[in-house]
């Protein structure tokens, strides 16, 4: 697993910034360190693949990166095998995972990222599918993948767009914390709550929280621990 290089964003959009702009310097550094010129984008989390790929291209092209949409390739598996870097964007996690299974991309992406060191970027749904499973997504199950098991690029789950409970709200339904703890009740696995504006950078056996705010870790014994920006979260990779 020492070759993996992974950047997992909570979201592509952040209040006060243009699309991906809040993560621009992190992403440029991540890609430049691996001498990436062309990014293979997987737009399966949204319905209009052309429109989504065009948005990513318009964002990354001025930064010096060419973007190619996997849906425009004659063979999706071959596209992954030839990719310099892989970027899976946000949208609906269930739709995304179903198409990854339909196209038989789960094993080939795992092999390329974990064994060959191909850089992987995930945002929102693309971050969800990088983890053990999609059980901790915030999305509705608009379609049904053959399994909730995901790419398993990291040995824990993430909840992107994590929101703290609001003591002043009049809403009396379940909080995000309660939902995550329901998952832990059944699966006994840690969940990292990534607030907006944060990301997890994984290089080999080292994991670091990046961004300008804390992340919250829900542990397998249902404790909650806050981690500040630049915290070393490598211990989460120890199950590999």
Q: Which entry of 12, 49, 139, 177 is annotated as an active-site residue? A: 139
What pLDDT was estimated at residue 65?
97
Extended strands (E) in the chain: 5-9, 38-42, 66-69, 86-88, 120-123, 157-159, 191-194, 198-203, 206-211, 215-218, 224-227
Distance between CA atoms of 97 and 94, rounded to whole angstroms?
5
Classify domain 5-237 at the CATH topology level.
Rossmann fold (3.40.50)
What pLDDT was estimated at residue 1?
47
Whether 139 is catalytic: yes
- Could you read off the pLDDT of 58-115 as tens digits, one per residue? 999 999 999 999 999 999 999 999 999 999 999 999 999 999 999 999 999 999 999 9
The pTM is what?
0.96
Distance between CA atoms of 11 and 1, rounded to whole angstroms?
25
How many other C-beta atoms lie within 10 A of the C-beta of residue 189? 19
**Rounded mean pLDDT of the chain?**
95
38-42 and 86-88 beta bridge pairing: parallel
List, as one string, the DSSP characters of 89-127. Answer: --S-HHHHHHHHHHTT-HHHHHIIIIIS---EEEETHHH
Whether 177 is catalytic: no
Contact 192, 210 (CB under 8 A): no
**CA neighbor of 198 nearest in space, from 180, 216, 181, 225:** 216
Q: Helix (H, G, I), strand (E, B), or coil: what is residue 207?
A: strand
Whether 124 is catalytic: yes
How many other C-beta atoms lie within 10 A of the C-beta of residue 111? 13
What pLDDT was estimated at residue 164?
87
User: Residues in the chain with pLDDT < 70?
Assistant: 1-2, 170, 172, 240
Q: Which entry of 123, 124, 133, 177 is annotated as an active-site residue? A: 124
Query: What is the domain partition of the chain in residue ranges?
Result: 5-237
């Amino acid at each position: 697993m020492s070759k993996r290089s992974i950047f997992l964003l909570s979201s592509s959009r952040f209040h006060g910034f243009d699309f991906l702009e809040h993560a621009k310097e992190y992403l440029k550094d991540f890609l430049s360190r691996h001498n990436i010129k062309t990014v293979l984008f997987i737009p399966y989390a949204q319905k209009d693949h052309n429109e989504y790929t065009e948005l990513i291209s318009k964002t990354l092209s001025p930064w010096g990166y060419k973007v190619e949409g996997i849906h425009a390739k004659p063979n999706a598996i071959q596209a992954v095998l030839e990719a310099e870097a892989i970027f899976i964007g946000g949208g609906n996690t269930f739709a995304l995972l179903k198409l990854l299974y339909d196209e038989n991309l789960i094993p080939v992406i795992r092999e390329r990222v974990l064994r060959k060191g191909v850089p992987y970027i995930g945002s929102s749904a693309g971050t969800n599918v990088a983890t053990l499973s999609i059980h901790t997504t915030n999305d509705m199950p608009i379609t049904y993948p053959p399994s909730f098991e995901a790419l398993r690029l990291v040995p824990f789950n993430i909840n992107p767009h994590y929101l703290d409970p609001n003591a002043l709200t009049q809403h009396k339904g379940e909080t995000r914390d309660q939902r995550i703890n329901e998952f832990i009740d059944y699966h006994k696995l840690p969940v990292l709550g990534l607030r907006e504006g944060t990301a997890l950078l994984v290089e080999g056996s080292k994991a670091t929280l990046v961004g300008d705010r804390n992340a919250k870790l829900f542990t397998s014994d249902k404790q909650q621990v806050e981690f500040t920006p630049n915290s070393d979260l490598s211990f989460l990779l120890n199950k590999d």
